[in-house]
Structure 1
Amino acid sequence: MCGNNMSAPLPAIVPAARKATAAVIFLHGLGDTGHGWAEAFAGIRLPHVKYICPHAPTMPVSLNMRMSMPSWFDIYGLSPDANEDEAGIKRASENIKALIDQEVKNGIPSHRIILGGFSQGGALSLYTALTTQQKLAGVVALSCWLPLRNSFPQVEQSRHTPVCTCTSVLQCHGDSDPLVPFIFGSQTAAKMKDLINPDNMVFKSYRGLPHSACPEEMVDVKRFIEKQLPPISDE
């Protein structure tokens, strides 16, 4: 269990079957841990890829009557105009950037790292990808939204200078999501196409899928990882 001291246990890790030459860092959703996602990635693992699923610290969450639970940052509401925990989002993003930096120190270059997440974790992965100086291999954003979206440049400013230095983004969303409505996902995809090269942005929808993942989606995630993190010649 996470403690109330804002610390979190070590990430759940699916090690590479051979020398790790690439990594996926994947962030779970509100109230969850990294263990379930580590199991999911173990089922679609690639032998040269290391999968890192960190656990969020436990904190009181305003959305859930200030109950303490694993959360990357506070959430005040789910409506598009709800106030956002700007300080908490930025603090969490810096922690994820530090995790990326640690993998770089461990010998995996940033362009061989995919960042991703589900729901709140997906939101944090998008924000982090748009604000990091590291060039990532890509982002996998599932059932999520872009936090602090108004802090990014408008279309006219960003069209010729993409904000995000990652090469590709795969965004997925169920069309029957009752928690993070599908319209949030489609609006986020439209915003992302303004901030990155739109040719590098893929938005996939899944009929009847609620706020969860499905086998079809995980196959799409695996294919994206295979494309962005191919084996290198000396493996």
Structure 2
Amino acid sequence: MCSRYRDYTVVIDAATTHTATLIFLHGLGDTGQGWSRAMAAIRPSCVKVVCPTAETMPVTLNAGYRMPSWFDLKSLDIGGPEDEEGIKSATTYVHSMIEDEIERGVPANRIIIGGFSQGGALALYSALKFPQRLAGVVALSCWLPLHKSFPAEVRCPTDLPVLLCHGDCDPVVPYKLGQMTASLLKMILKDFEFKSYRGLMHTSSDEELSDVRQFVHSKLPLI
């Protein structure tokens, strides 16, 4: 599975000496190309951007239509069924990407994992299940998968920095899911921030990207 993902990974090299990495996961039906330019525009010059593309698969929520998806989405209802096997398999892949960067000489505390919607959900879950302290997590318009397994299943240090962002008019991933995720993360993590955006639907905005830029620059300063 990993090799199939890597065939469609967008990598933007650091503009200066590479000392940090930002891995960003797209949302349902998108590709790595969709977020690569936006992430490259807000990174410090020492940061390499890695944007993989999910495998194409049937998605239950979309009547079985095949599209790039990190795992099967069965429902976005609170308490609805989840693809536990798929979520855990995708998490193994994300962990392998992180470990690849560590093997290349980038320490875990110089790696940020992020994502939008389904990609943000996977990034958040993967970071909480990773035993080393990452530089941070950027989770946009998303939720925490398999939330009932937390805090018991937390493997990360509790000082993991997380920025959770959500529009209050999101018609796809309800704002209430973002609020519930924020409430849970506040009980788990010491360095957590939840930002909401008035009138924002299931997309990003200049204001949100500015906040993400500030977070990334603060967690991955130039060396």
Q: Secondary structure at the match of 2:217?
A: helix
Query: Equivalents in 2 of 1:152, 1:42: separation in Å?
Result: 32
Query: Equivalents in 2 of 1:112, 1:42: separation in Å?
Result: 16
1:38–1:51 CA contact under 8 A, matched in 2: yes
Q: Where does residue 38 of structure 1 map in the other structure?
A: 36
Q: Where does residue 180 of structure 2 map in the other structure?
A: 187
1:5: how far off? 11
2:54–2:70 CA contact under 8 A, matched in 1: yes
1:6: how far off? 9.3
1:231: how far off? 1.1
Aligned pairs, number: 221
Q: Where does residue 4 of structure 2 map in the other structure?
A: 7
Question: After superposition, what is the alpha-carbon deviation per residue over 1:112-161, rounded to whole angstroms, capped at 9, x for unaligned?
Answer: 0001100000000111011111220100000000000001136xxx9xxx
RMSD, matched Cα: 1.8
Q: Secondary structure at the match of 2:4?
A: coil
1:191: how far off? 0.5
Q: Secondary structure at the match of 2:14?
A: coil
Q: Where does residue 164 of structure 1 map in the other structure?
A: 156
1:7: how far off? 2.6
Tell me which of 63, 73, 92 is aligned to 1:65: 63
1:194: how far off? 1.3
1:44: how far off? 1.8
Tell me which of 195, 199, 202 is aligned to 1:204: 195
**Structure 2 gap ranges (5+):** none
Query: Equivalents in 2 of 1:204, 1:29: separation in Å?
Result: 19
* Amino acid across the alignment from 1:220: D
Tell me which of 41, 46, 49 is aligned to 1:48: 46
Structure 1 position 29 matched with structure 2 position 42 = no
2:168–2:201 CA contact under 8 A, matched in 1: yes
Q: Secondary structure at the match of 1:7?
A: helix
Query: Equivalents in 2 of 1:105, 1:82: separation in Å?
Result: 38
Tell me which of 174, 192, 195 is aligned to 2:167: 174
Normalised TM-score (structure 1): 0.90
1:14–1:41 CA contact under 8 A, matched in 2: no
Query: Equivalents in 2 of 1:53, 1:118: separation in Å?
Result: 12
Q: Where does residue 231 of structure 1 map in the other structure?
A: 222
Q: Which runs of 4+ in 1 moved over 4 A?
A: none
Tell me which of 195, 199, 206 is aligned to 1:215: 206
Structure of larger gyration radius: 1
Normalised TM-score (structure 2): 0.94
1:10: how far off? 3.4
